[in-house]
Amino acid sequence: MSKLSWPHSLVFKALVLVVVIGLIMLFTQQRLYEKDRELRQVEIQRNLALMQLMADNQVGELARDAEFIANSPVLKNYLRSMSPHALAPAQEAFWVLSTLRPQYDQIRYIDRFGIEQIRVNRRNGQSELVTDDLQVKSDRDYVRKGLALKPGETALSPFELNQENGRIEVPYRPALRAIARLGVVGEHYTPGIVVINGNAERFIHRLGTALPANSELILLNEQGGWLAGGGDQNWQFSITPSATFASSHPGLWEGIKSSQTGQFELAGECYNYTWHSYRDGEVSSPRWLIGQRRVGAPCTTELVDNVQQGAMRSVIAFGLSFPLLLLWHRASARKRELVSNLEARNEELRLIANESGHGLLRVDAQGCVEWMNREAERLLGWKEADLEGQNLHETCHQFEDGKSLHKGPCPTLEALQTGQTYRSEHERMLDRSGTIVHLTMSVSAYGEGGERRAIVAISDIGSHIEMEKTLTELATTDSLTGAFNRATLLQQLDTWITHSANPPCAIMLDIDHFKRVNDTYGHNAGDRVLKAFSSTIMELLRKDDMLSRTGGEEFVVAIRNASLKDAVALAERIRMAVAQIECQTDNGDIIRITTSVGVAIYQEGESVEQLLARADGALYCAKHGGRDQVRVG
């Protein structure tokens, strides 16, 4: 029997086959490990970026609301007069904001001495105005720092447990505070601060929704105190200063502090983190460490799993007659598993984006829409399938005639060109029906060249605008009659005197025997008479004329670009129209009224108060001259 040459022997072929299989397995497993590690890092970075975006949205809304209420007309009106009459609208404004923002535990105004003057608590899902238990907070750090701010500045305090009457509130109520310093009101009075306590538990819960099921949120302050993820150690730094991560692991903590992002392993579990602080103009927050912990999994999980998988596959391949077929089958199965995992993670990110509470769109380098979440569909009225591929600027920033909503360049296109982040607290876009929608907008570009993309985040501020309109009306008008209040009248007359060439006229009116109406028919009937009286006068006024209620039954009509003769003629028309008023009570009785009128025209050099005093003097003469008549002062 002839001997087979060594290259053709079964042993040689087996050795060659072993070597080939070993090389293929080594190459395949290395690629799979690199892909697993890359996918894992992409997932971690997306989770951290989404948590930072959600944190900025919540903290930004808290700071903007503090600035908004600090600049509200009703609060400034109260600070000018410090009267109970002006306090009620200010308290109502605080209460309205509390009902609109269930995530705020407290909204307060604290004066320059550190004493609470207005306070609304949010407890058990209800907003309640506190009037009997207002506290002195001058010893609290956030109050001292807030009062040290310049007028108009806003600051954010660190996370801490809320204290009431000098003691930590039990059960614990952790808070993140926004403090807005009011501008100067009046010549000699420096007002205090508006403080809003954001519910930190809601804040932390919202961040946790960005993480997959096998991960937990970790959140620490800059001193290493546990805010979330520390188990029994959460918030204990507020009671025992040494109960911190920094005290338990000082060496590890020094390395974490010196690195903006990183990874570490502790107790057999892998932690990934980034340092983050909110910044918007001059408003900034302390740094927080935001991260995720893989429950029960060390940082070497992918490597160990991959080595174990490679060893198992090698044993199977070497023990079978067709190892290459088995290797192909397992490689294909692994590829399908990776694709399925990637699709599942993308779907998970899509679900998180849909539940984030903000409209999100992704556009390509030309500004064409690639993707949008359900909230963006709701705000703009477009379905993702209909808007996909369309230019966002041409669709939502331009009218049909080609005119743009922006005076300058489109913020989305500018961010794509420059790579810089654009942020606006009041932006406008067109929905599918062509209606202008008022929004906040931020545009964040990423990538380079033709691969550049941008994430556009939008949020509805229609309720803010309506609330601002309501607060302005409360500050300038009388709620019963719709007429302007005295403060608005004085301001308007002063403006006319200063800037108008023609002197204004003041027509002061008083309902005759109005007390008799209240005493005879009751205050409800009196309110009907006041409404009928004011609506009758308004029908006789020009567009620029002004009706103001300055007292119980006393009103003033201010007119300009009219002579004294014109003013007297208008007064006579009003007097005769009022005499025709018939108000019916609940009992069917008919009330008829008359009015006495005093007219005065502005004289050079006199003040607004002197003008009104002369009109009041003429009214006095009309009253004592028999009523239901017009006199000139």
Concatenating the DSSP letter of every residue in 457-487 gives EEEE-HHHHHHHHHHHHHHHB-TTT--B-HH
In 381-452, alpha helices (H):
384-387, 392-396, 411-418
Q: What is the pLDDT of residue 352?
A: 55
Q: What is the 3-state secondary structure (H, E, C) of 557-573?
A: EEECCCCHHHHHHHHHH
What residue segments make up the domains of the chain, in order of their start? 17-37+311-354, 62-199, 203-301, 359-462, 477-632
**DSSP at 444:** E
What percentage of the chain carries pLDDT values higher than 90? 53
Average pLDDT over residues 245-267: 93
Q: What is the pLDDT of residue 502?
A: 87
The pTM assigned to this predicted structure is: 0.49
Instruction: Say whether 263 sits in a helix, a strand or coil.
Output: strand
- Whose CA is closest to 293, among 233, 212, 402, 172? 212
Q: What is the pLDDT of residue 321?
A: 61
Contact of 258 with 251, CB cutoff 8 Å: no
93-97, 428-432, 528-532, 611-615: range with lowest mean pLDDT: 428-432
The tens digit of pLDDT for each residue in 532-587 reads 999 999 999 999 899 999 988 999 999 999 999 999 999 999 999 999 999 988 88
User: Does the N-terminal peptide bond of residue 171 adopt cis geometry, omega within 30 degrees of 0?
Assistant: yes
CA 526/CA 136 separation, integer angstroms:
42
Angle formed by the axes of helices 10-70 and 301-319, nearest 10°: 160
Do 62-199 and 203-301 have matching folds?
Answer: yes
Instruction: Say whether 341 sits in a helix, a strand or coil.
Output: helix
Contact of 201 with 174, CB cutoff 8 Å: yes
Give the residue with greater pLDDT, 175 vs 36. 175
CA 409/CA 554 separation, integer angstroms:
53
CA 240/CA 434 separation, integer angstroms:
58
Q: Pick one of 3.90.700.10, 3.30.450.20, 1.20.140.10, 3.30.1330.10 as the CATH number of 203-301.
A: 3.30.450.20
DSSP H or E run through 524: helix 523-539
Instruction: Say whether 304 sits in a helix, a strand or coil.
Output: helix
**DSSP at 296:** T
Q: Which amino acid belongs to residue 285?
A: S
Q: Pick one of 3.20.20.450, 3.30.590.10, 3.40.50.2000, 3.30.450.20 as the CATH number of 359-462.
A: 3.30.450.20
Task: Provide the pLDDT confidence category of residue 312 given band limits of 50, 70 and 90.
Answer: confident
Token pair for residue 596?
A: 């006495």
CA 212/CA 349 separation, integer angstroms:
9
Over the Cα atoms of the chain, what is R_g?
36
- Whose CA is closest to 560, among 609, 493, 626, 508? 493
Q: How far apart are the first and last CA of the chain?
A: 144
What percentage of the chain carries pLDDT values higher than 70? 87
CA angle 32, 38, 43 (to 5 degrees): 125
Average pLDDT over residues 603-627: 93
Contact of 134 with 116, CB cutoff 8 Å: yes
Q: Please state whether 591 falls in left (phi above 0), alpha (psi between -120 and 50) or beta.
A: beta
Contact of 73 with 475, CB cutoff 8 Å: yes
100-104, 106-110, 261-265, 416-420: range with lowest mean pLDDT: 416-420
- Return the biggest CA–CA distance within the chain: 150
Q: What is the pLDDT of residue 595?
A: 96
Q: How crowded is residue 580: how many other Cβ atoms within 10 Å of its Cβ?
A: 9
pLDDT at 163 over 70: yes
The CATH number of 62-199 is: 3.30.450.20
How far from 110 is each of 143, 152, 195, 302, CA to CA, in Å?
Answer: 8, 15, 7, 54
Average pLDDT over residues 107-130: 94
Q: Which residues pair with 422 in a beta bridge?
A: 443
How far from 484 is each of 41, 64, 169, 181, 546, CA to CA, in Å?
Answer: 62, 29, 44, 29, 8
Q: Pick one of 1.10.150.20, 3.40.50.300, 2.40.37.10, 3.30.70.270 as the CATH number of 477-632.
A: 3.30.70.270
Length of the chain: 633
Contact of 290 with 297, CB cutoff 8 Å: no
CA 378/CA 359 separation, integer angstroms:
8
CA 77/CA 487 separation, integer angstroms:
9
**DSSP at 404:** B
